[in-house]
Amino acid sequence: MARDNKKPKQKLSRIFSNNLRIIAKVARMTPDYFISVILEGIVWGMINSVEAVFTFRLFDALDAGKSFSEVALIIAAMAGFYLIAYALDAWYWQYYNPLLRRKLELKLHRELFDKAQTLDVSCYDDPAFYNDFVWAMDEAGQRAYDVMFDIGKLINRLVAAGTLFTLIFTIDVPVAVILLSTSILFVVINQIANKVHFDQEKERKPLNRVRDYINRVFHLADYAKEIRISHVTDLLIEDIDENTEKQIAVSIKYGKKYFILFGLCYSVLSNIVYYAVLFYMFVQLLHGNVLVGAFAASVSMIWRVRWMLEDLVERLTKFPRHSLFLEKYYGFLAYRPTLVSGEEEVPPFASLEMRNVSFTYDFSNKPRYEFHDADYKPPEGEGGRGDALRHVDLTLKRGEKIAIVGYNGAGKTTLIKLLMRLYDPTEGQVLWNGRDVREYDTEEYRARIGTVFQDFRIFAASVGENVMNGHYDPAQDEETVRRALDAAGFTEKLGELERGIDTTLTREFDDKGTNLSGGEAQKVAIARVFAKPFELIIMDEPSSALDPVAEYELNQAILRYAADKTVIFISHRLSTTRMADRIYMFAGGELSEVGSHEELMANNGKYAEMFRLQAEKYQTE
């Protein structure tokens, strides 16, 4: 997506097109909502017109000296009409409209969720794109509703204003001309205000993200222990104070502009026009050009027309603002992944190779709280830009067990993302059975690989659904899930759960759910690779949350389960390396050593040094 820092410029055709697209989408997704908005606008426009006619008829009857019964009949008709109208209005806005709006929001967000699944993982490393992503998620439902709401009110005001202007032209032509001329000035003022509002929201968005992050830290249970035993709260409070100062500065900056536009130009102008027209009509009354009743009705009607015109202008000038926000939304939906799937079927696994693979991250413009790769630490002096991997050659054949080891920041997790084709190499190739993985159907390719990530996630779903990583059918999947949990060492904990496999994990949406410890959650995540017949298994720090005994038991379980499977172990703890056929030692993004445990110990290099340090630690413990 192309970006620049210039203020958005919009042609009238672009404004019309952007708003028309969202209106057409609403009509397609929720035709009942679209029709109801149009009908409500027409009906209430007529109702507002009828009110003016009633008022005019009432004062006309008084001027003409009509009888009490005739005047009372007009009042009774007015009362009955509005009793029915407001009852229907309450039903529509308090019951029917909210239902339809919720239906629309769900469909719009479903579309965004589907789109989010197609994003390149690298998009989350791009602050500008991530801001647009958050913006689209936050704005989509509300913006579509705002456009339709303004369409309904616009129709309402047009129908009512048409009737009212017709009546005013019959009373006094100069007054009608003055009101129309003033409306043009209001259009200009609101157009300028729309751009100011957009710029303000754009400037506030990154500040709001920092604020939201700090809010989450203080209210999520995940952070509760850390913030009570550390001084990180001092840092966060300093950050929120700094953020607040920036928010205030933005408010002052744009508040001055709003004051000039609305406090001076808009309000002063509208009041001058209103009282000038009122004085003009009073002069007409003194000269006998209008009767007292007609004067009272006209003043009331002029006030209503003034309000109608101002609101009509405000509605019209909102559409350019809607268009500016919709540009972000359409830009997000129009994004095309750079990581494009191939079309070839993926053959049964025989070998996996990385040939002269390099990969570069660019974090040079990342804000403080932006997502970043957990494994990569930018080299010093490069402003957050550097090679995560450089010229890596690696080969894995069917049935082999290999270990990829190194200290934090060595490039291990980046390597896994390349093998999974979450990223494409900056240079070189990843080959499956000797063929570039970019030629294969990406979804099918990833489905062949079972992975436990270092930063795995447990979802607010049942144990069964978490293990199956999706739908869980007790009739078909229960035995599979139990075997997988048993292999992962979770059987004892499962027996403690009142609802067993049907127990909801986390208490996010279920008060009867359970929160697992770090080691227990990791076992559930590991069970996922045991539950399906993956051809290649990648274990990224599979035992990081386990004690040495549990780690040993897990390694033995993996060996039993994956005796005939291909396994890649990623770790900076070397207790798993003895069972590997081959070990790849990474340091600073480069492959520094390759060999078996015995060969690397004999080589007495970085691997041997790392192994001895960890062995001494275990012996001490």
The domains located in the chain, with CATH, are: 13-331 (1.20.1560.10), 351-458+516-620 (3.40.50.300)
Q: Both tokens of residue 224?
A: 């509760």
Q: What is the pLDDT of residues 304-321, one digit of tens each?
A: 776 777 777 778 878 888
Confidence label for 429 from pLDDT (cuts 50, 70 and 90): very high
Residues 6+ apart with CB under 8 A from 214: 236, 239, 240, 243
Confidence label for 562 from pLDDT (cuts 50, 70 and 90): confident
pLDDT at 160: 82
Q: Which residues pair with 440 in a beta bridge?
A: 344
Choose between 113 and 21: higher pLDDT.
Answer: 21
DSSP-derived 3-state class of residue 256: helix
Residue 191 has pLDDT above 80, yes or no: no
pLDDT at 380: 39
Confidence label for 24 from pLDDT (cuts 50, 70 and 90): very high
pLDDT at 356: 94
CB 302 within 8 A of CB 277: yes
Residue 233 has pLDDT above 60, yes or no: yes
Distances (CA, A) of 540 to 412, 428, 577, 601: 8, 23, 13, 23
Out of 224-238, 337-351, 362-376, 484-498, which region has the weakest mean confidence (pLDDT)?
362-376
Q: Residue 203's closest CA among 139, 154, 248? A: 248
| Average pLDDT of the chain, as a whole number | 80
pLDDT at 560: 77
Q: What is the C-alpha to C-alpha distance for residues 542 and 538, in angstroms, rounded to an integer?
A: 9
pLDDT at 33: 93
Query: Residue 433 carries which DSSP code?
Result: T
CB 33 within 8 A of CB 100: yes
Choose between 181 and 340: higher pLDDT.
Answer: 340
pLDDT at 6: 47
Half-sphere exposure of 381 (CA within 13 A, CB side): 0
Choose between 127 and 590: higher pLDDT.
Answer: 590
pLDDT at 482: 94
pLDDT at 229: 63
> H helices within 498-593, ranges in order?
518-530, 548-561
Confidence label for 367 from pLDDT (cuts 50, 70 and 90): very low
pLDDT at 372: 35
Question: How deeply is 475 buried, as exposed, middle or buried, from its count of CB atoms within 10 A (0-12, 13-18, 19+)?
Answer: exposed
Out of 122-136, 140-154, 403-417, which region has the weakest mean confidence (pLDDT)?
122-136
Please compute the mean of the pLDDT values over residues 235-240 and round it to a whole number: 83
Please compute the mean of the pLDDT values over residues 143-170 and round it to a whole number: 83
Residue 100 has pLDDT above 80, yes or no: yes
Give percent of the chain above pLDDT 90. 21
Q: What is the C-alpha to C-alpha distance for residues 32 and 586, in angstroms, rounded to an integer?
A: 60
pLDDT at 230: 65
Confidence label for 159 from pLDDT (cuts 50, 70 and 90): confident
Q: What is the C-alpha to C-alpha distance for residues 534 and 451, in angstroms, rounded to an integer?
A: 9
Please compute the mean of the pLDDT values over residues 375-402 and round it to a whole number: 68
pTM of the entire predicted model: 0.61
Residue 378 has pLDDT above 60, yes or no: no
pLDDT at 545: 59
Q: Residue 142's closest CA among 10, 317, 331, 325? A: 325
pLDDT at 293: 59
Q: What is the C-alpha to C-alpha distance for residues 143 and 135, in angstroms, rounded to an integer?
A: 11
Q: Which residues pair with 451 in a beta bridge?
A: 538
CB 573 within 8 A of CB 545: no
Out of 175-179, 580-584, 615-619, which region has the weakest mean confidence (pLDDT)?
615-619
Confidence label for 294 from pLDDT (cuts 50, 70 and 90): low
Ramachandran assignment for 440, one of left (phi > 0), alpha (psi -120 to 50 degrees), beta (any other): beta
Q: Both tokens of residue 117?
A: 């699944």
pLDDT at 554: 73
